[in-house]
């Protein structure tokens, strides 16, 4: 107990590390003192963060209730959790193995196609599923505004446990429990929603170029805008949907309601400095912790199958036609090609610079 009293308390708007440590210790001690079986077990959704996880949060200068950001990479079968520090930037916390996901590289199109979604999704507290039959879960919110604008159908697409998937991202129970707890604590700390960016693969130029003839190359190129923004600034971008297209790092007047099928307003773009960690923070910024665990999908097999899918596919032709939509729209506020009502992501930042129409 003495070593916990010596821990620095990382106070701020999200609670304190020591509070979370004492809460975990209190729960564990209470169960031990009460004797075997005499105290009801906590449900999976209420399990405290493990001591090792709290220790890592402390070592990284984070707080248990600090905001989180999640990225998913299908090909690699990996789910990343990033957490904010007091400087407002997000730092890598852990990379978790995705035990199973169904379908192939590419977005979900229709209910029953067993495809796991790709795109930008926002998770609110009501999307948490503490009583899930798949241990614990949170709903990705598919279909989002973009999906609806493209007439995509489906529901109940989750990140959950049990390592079995029919359109979801399935973890082992233990890892699903930890990810759920990180999200739960972030909500309790005041985060109103957290973002999940689901990518087909790590969106490097080299990997995207490998699929330049793939039927979803144009769609993936737009997802790469979100990937690149976060890599540069270490802040999740604000994402809007209008003209049937995703638009990354944009803001607009609060009085203007976006229409995912309609013309974009004259967007503004928040201006922030690229992420450059201070010298004393360089090690934390560069550190990557990968959790061991099973992966049912082989990355090489997934990539090989995707390389055989070319742009002539009729579904791709339909999607590509959306990119001509903007050309026929007068007074469009975006120079990007087409995607419906909606904003996806954190609220627009102050101090904006106008975007040329």
Determine the Cα–Cα distance for residues 269 and 261; give it in Å rounded to an integer: 21
Cis upstream peptide for 143 (omega within 30°):
yes
- In this structure, what DSSP letter does residue 333 have? S
In order, the DSSP letters of 74-91 are TTTTEEEEEEE-TTS-EE
- In this structure, what DSSP letter does residue 25 have? H
> Which residue, chain included where needed, has tokens 């729209």?
329
Determine the Cα–Cα distance for residues 30 and 42; give it in Å rounded to an integer: 12
Number of other residues whose CB lies within 10 A of the CB of residue 246:
26
Assess contact for 222 and 246: CB atoms under 8 A. Answer: yes
Assess contact for 116 and 152: CB atoms under 8 A. Answer: no
Task: For residue 193, indicate whether it is catalytic.
Answer: no
Task: For residue 168, indicate whether it is catalytic.
Answer: yes
Q: What's the N-to-C CA distance of the chain in angstroms? A: 61
- 138 φ/ψ sector (left φ>0, alpha ψ -120 to 50, else beta): beta
Which of 190, 168, 169 is closest to 80 using CA atoms?
A: 169
Who's near 166: CB < 8 A, 6+ residues apart? 102, 114
Angle at 62 between CA 90 and CA 177, to 5 degrees: 90
**From 168, 193, 197, 247, the catalytic residue:** 168
**From 14, 92, 135, 160, the catalytic residue:** 160
Element counts in the chain: helices (H) and strands (E) = 10, 15
Determine the Cα–Cα distance for residues 18 and 243; give it in Å rounded to an integer: 48
Catalytic (active-site) positions: 160, 168
């Amino acid at each position: 107990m003495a070593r916990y009293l010596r821990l620095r308390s990382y106070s701020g708007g999200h609670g304190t590390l020591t509070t979370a440590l004492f809460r975990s210790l209190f729960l564990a001690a209470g169960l031990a003192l009460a004797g075997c079986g005499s105290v009801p077990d906590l449900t999976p959704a209420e399990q405290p963060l493990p001591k090792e996880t709290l220790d890592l949060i402390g070592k990284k200068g984070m707080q248990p209730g600090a905001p989180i950001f999640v990225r998913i990479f299908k090909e690699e079968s990996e789910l990343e959790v990033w957490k904010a520090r007091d400087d407002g930037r997000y730092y890598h916390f852990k990379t978790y193995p995705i035990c199973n996901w169904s379908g192939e590289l590419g977005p979900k199109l229709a209910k029953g196609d067993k495809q796991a979604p790709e795109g930008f999704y926002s998770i609110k507290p009501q999307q948490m599923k503490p009583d899930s039959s798949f241990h614990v879960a949170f709903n990705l919110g598919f279909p989002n505004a973009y999906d609806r604008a493209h007439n995509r159908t489906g529901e109940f697409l989750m990140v959950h446990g049990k390592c079995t998937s029919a359109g979801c991202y399935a973890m082992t129970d233990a890892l699903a429990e930890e990810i759920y707890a990180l999200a739960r604590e972030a909500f309790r700390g005041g985060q109103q929603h957290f973002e999940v960016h689901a990518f087909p693969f790590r969106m490097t130029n080299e990997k995207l170029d490998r699929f330049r003839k793939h039927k979803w190359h144009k769609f993936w190129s737009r997802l790469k805008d979100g990937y690149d923004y976060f890599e540069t600034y270490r802040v999740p971008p604000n994402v809007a949907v209008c003209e049937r297209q995703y638009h990354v790092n944009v803001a607009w007047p609060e009085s203007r309601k976006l229409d995912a099928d309609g013309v974009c307003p004259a967007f503004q773009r928040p201006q922030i400095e690229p992420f450059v960690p201070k010298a004393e923070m360089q090690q934390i910024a560069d550190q990557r912790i990968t959790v061991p665990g099973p992966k049912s999908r082989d990355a090489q097999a997934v990539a090989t199958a995707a390389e055989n899918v070319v742009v002539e596919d009729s579904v791709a032709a339909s999607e590509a036609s959306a990119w001509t939509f903007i050309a026929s729209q007068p007074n469009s506020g975006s120079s990007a090609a087409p995607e419906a009502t909606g904003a996806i992501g954190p609220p627009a930042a102050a101090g904006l610079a106008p975007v040329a129409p």
